[in-house]
Chain A
Amino acid sequence: MVDLIYQLFPYAIAFTIPLLITSLGGLFSERSGVINIGLEGLMLMGMFVGAFTITRIEMTNPATAVWIGLLAAVFFGALFALLHAFACVTLNANQVISGIAINMIASAVTVYLARLITGSGNVQIIRGMSRVTIPILSEIPVLGRLLFTQTYATTWLVLFILAFATFLLYKTRFGLRLRACGEHPHAADSAGVNVYLMRYMAVMISGACAGLGGATFIVTLSGEFNGTAAGLGFLALAALIFGQWKPWGILGATFFFGFASTIANVSQVIPVLSQIPGIYLKTFPYVITLIALVLSSKSSQAPKAVGEPYDKGKR
């Protein structure tokens, strides 16, 4: 049993990380007052851009290709999110509908481009990111084996971003203003904060994070773009709500989803679990999500002004 956990842990963490960074992106957007249902589409964009960039350059720059791919995904994620920001902030569109549109555009555009380029609709990378065992730290009993062996560099990058985001949101001027925009935009406006600008920035940050999430999934777990984000973006959104719009809350929520999904995925090869019908294990994380969302909806900490286009005249 203990060995099983040791075996599962690296996979669970690897699965958690793309969810976590995407969810964190959603946190920025929603804390500024813009619902971002488009996380799925933004992630898909990141997957495509990441995979495509890497296939173009991995022959010539094998050492840096993965990182350049991640960077490109971040950039295009932010750029694509600009569309959502424009619709929601400048045009005062319904944020849910704009998010759905983002998802539809993303899957259409990426699949179209992938077919055009490769002919098959799949974009496969040759080498993903390699796992490293951190010297010294991995010697720590128990924790060393759980956390510091067979890790991806992206895991540490995302955890660093999580810590930095927490600092940004709660300790800096930018964070205070961003949160004010999500709770009471009129208060922010009358205090001289540019609500439109803050929301634009927040939505673009969410695009950048979701793009990174998508590309991370490609370089660590899947190795190929196949035209779908498989609901990961929606799972990230659920984690955002489950985690009550708080950075450390979503860390817990995404890890829970990551661990549960990993168990479901590997259940066939583990004797103890293979007796349970696969369907139960596969649906387990989603059923728990539903239950968790129903339970936590009572005491929701959602930003008060989330979903409302900011209208200067209305007060």
Chain B
Amino acid sequence: MNHIVEMVDIRKEFPGVVACDDITFKVKKGEIHALLGENGAGKSTLMNILFGLYQQDSGSIYLRGDKVSITNPNIANDLGIGMVHQHFKLVHNFTVTENIILGLEPTKAFMINTRSAFARISDLSKQYGLNVDPDALISDISVGMQQRVEILKMLYRDAEILIFDEPTAVLTPQEVQEMMKIMRGLIDEGKTIILITHKLREIMAIADRCTVIRWGKVVGTVNTEDTSEEKLAEMMVGRKVLFELNKKEAHPRKEILSIEELSVSGSAGRKGLKNFTLGVRCGEIVGLAGIDGNGQKELVEAIIGLRKADSGRIMLGDEDISTLSIRERIETGLAHIPEDRHKHGLVLDYTVQENMILKTYYREPYSSKGLLDWSFIYEHAENVIRDFDIRAGEGADSLARSLSGGNQQKAIVGREIDSNPDLLIAVQPTRGLDVGAIEYIHQRLLEQRDQGKAVFMISLELDEILDLSDRIAVIYNGELVDIVDADKTDENEIGLMMAGGKRGVAT
């Protein structure tokens, strides 16, 4: 048995949760070992323990057969463990070289010797085919490139065990392909890779073995050759998973949302929106695909009224809403499931019933003559809780904070759909949810469509876009690349467009 990493009976508790419940996890030298589990299953906690960011409550770690105690990331570095975090740890106004050498700067007469570092980084970049410019500023390079800088950072520190935390979440399908090539290159050079992910297809494509974790416990470790996506999903969720949505044919009618030549300036450091034109019809779901930071946020904020448009019109039905206040827009028939449910969706320290009336409290029958009608509000919240299957310990009186992420999201979806909008804007509606909640929310969005309402969905998950949408619009650099029918396209084509390539034009 030549296990390079052995984590035995690792236990880690946080207040109220057991994140790792006596997990035993072993990795062989030279393999790509996937760690699969839903959000909150404990996979990131386990890896943070291995990297020294957390300490286990009990259990032991063996590296190359020796028992080790990893109390901080420096020790992990010295032991040859490197980690690419989901959120990159790069200083935006430093160069690639400066970021890589930070903490290990070679010096000469008190000055940082960038030249020697530069040479070493260029060599490593060449050796592993990473193609990184060591002199570029981090803020000037793409997210995919930044990820390679993170990889270089590990290689510069001579790491042998490389942990990747959800590395493909921020990449286009084409970049994912390249990433896999890079990973194979790393394995060929004798490295070992631990891949944290919830994407089954990637595991099947690249991993040698896979350990599945559910609720802090190991469900099992399997060879990917002997398993299938369905089996892995079942292990991960604990029941059979429907991969097919119950999606009927769409019957789109008249256009309800028309965005005409809309230009919006971005916040500092972000690209805005340029001459964006798009229509969404009643009875269809339009999905907006694109890599994060290409103008989606500006578009959504301009539609719902959080950001002023520089030029162009936004028509909802027959009314130009681009100069209306947010409340007036809501009253015209607009509903919005925000990207960040904690920041913009709920007041976490309010109860569920209070959260249910955030947009309607001033109106009859929720209030009259300036006073809130609490008995009606309570009843209304209980109805929504029942209709949308929201699991809340104390019903309408539960604090929003006490709900699980999935139930918080259901509460928002419930509030928005309950307002009976003509147009529902759903931004990342299933981010960070478990498979059960995702299925449920997807069904509700489809229902909304089937009732003749319009749904405009913005998501970074390409699978979600492809599964749900009737038409797919792709945004790149603040501009609409193209809009295509969902049943006449595939992941590859959308991926190319997400990188800015027009349809049918090779890039």
Contact = CB atoms under 8 A, between A and B. Distances in A.
Across the A-B interface, the 5 shortest Cβ-Cβ residue pairs: A191-B103, A187-B89, A192-B103, A191-B102, A192-B74
A210 B411 CA distance: 53
Contacts of A186: 89
B26 interface: no
B263 to A, nearest CB: 19
A188 B102 contact: yes
Interface stretch (A101-109, A173-181, A248-256, A271-279): A173-181
Interface string B79-108: 000010101011111100011011111010
Interface size class of A (residues with CB under 8 A): 20 to 34
Interface in B202-252: none
Contact of A184 (B83, B91, B105): B91
A193 interface: yes
Contacts of A60: none
Interface string B104-115: 110100111000
Interface in A274-312: 298-300, 304, 312
B102 A304 contact: no
B77 interface: yes
A192 B90 contact: no
B40 interface: no
B19 to A, nearest CB: 13
B94 A183 contact: yes
B73 interface: yes
A192 B87 contact: no
Interface string A223-251: 00000000000000000000000000000
Contact of A180 (B74, B83, B94, B268): B94
A304 B92 CA distance: 9
Given A171-B111, A171-B112, A176-B112, A192 B77 contact: yes
A190 interface: yes
A183 B105 contact: no
A172 interface: yes
A183 B85 contact: no
B134 to A, nearest CB: 15
B104 A187 contact: no
B434 to A, nearest CB: 22
Contacts of A192: 73-74, 77, 103-104
Contacts of A180: 91, 94, 102
26 contacts: A172-B107, A172-B112, A173-B105, A173-B107, A176-B102, A177-B102, A180-B94, A183-B91, A183-B92, A183-B93, A184-B89, A184-B90, A187-B89, A187-B91, A187-B99, A187-B102, A188-B91, A188-B102, A189-B73, A190-B83, A191-B89, A191-B153, A192-B74, A192-B77, A312-B53, A315-B87
A85 to B, nearest CB: 22
A185 to B, nearest CB: 10
A247 to B, nearest CB: 16
B473 to A, nearest CB: 31
B277 to A, nearest CB: 29
B112 A315 contact: no
A188 B103 contact: yes
Interface of A: 171-173, 176-177, 179-180, 183-184, 186-193, 298-300, 304, 312, 315
Given A172-B112, A191-B102, A191-B103, 15 more contacts: A171-B110, A171-B111, A171-B112, A176-B112, A177-B103, A183-B91, A188-B91, A189-B73, A191-B153, A192-B73, A193-B102, A193-B103, A298-B268, A299-B268, A315-B53
Given A176-B98, A192-B73, A184 B92 contact: yes
B102 A172 contact: no
Interface residues of B, number: 26
A30 to B, nearest CB: 14
Interface in B263-316: 268
A160 B87 CA distance: 41
B101 to A, nearest CB: 8
B91 A179 contact: yes
B104 A191 contact: yes
A172 B103 contact: no
B112 A173 contact: yes
A99 B92 CA distance: 28
A184 B85 CA distance: 14
B104 A190 contact: no
B111 A172 contact: yes
Nearest to B78: A192
A252 to B, nearest CB: 21
B87 to A, nearest CB: 7
Contacts of B268: 298-300
Contacts of A299: 268
Residue from A171, A172, A179, A190 having most chain B Cβ neighbours under 10 A: A190
Contacts of B83: 190
B85 A190 contact: yes
A187 B92 CA distance: 10
Contacts of A193: 102-103
Contacts of A312: 53
Contacts of A187: 89-91, 99, 102
Question: Which of A187, A189, A300 gathers the greatest number of chain B CB atoms within 10 Å?
Answer: A187
Contacts of A171: 110-112
Contacts of B98: 176
A183 B102 CA distance: 13
A315 B88 CA distance: 10
A298 B267 CA distance: 10
A7 B489 CA distance: 77
A296 to B, nearest CB: 13
A179 B268 CA distance: 21
Contact of B89 (A173, A190, A298): A190
A294 B436 CA distance: 50
Contacts of A188: 91, 102-103
A233 to B, nearest CB: 27
A283 to B, nearest CB: 31
Contacts of B92: 183-184, 304
A300 B269 CA distance: 11
A193 B101 CA distance: 11
A315 B85 contact: yes
A164 to B, nearest CB: 11
Contacts of B94: 176, 179-180, 183
Contacts of A189: 73
B310 to A, nearest CB: 16
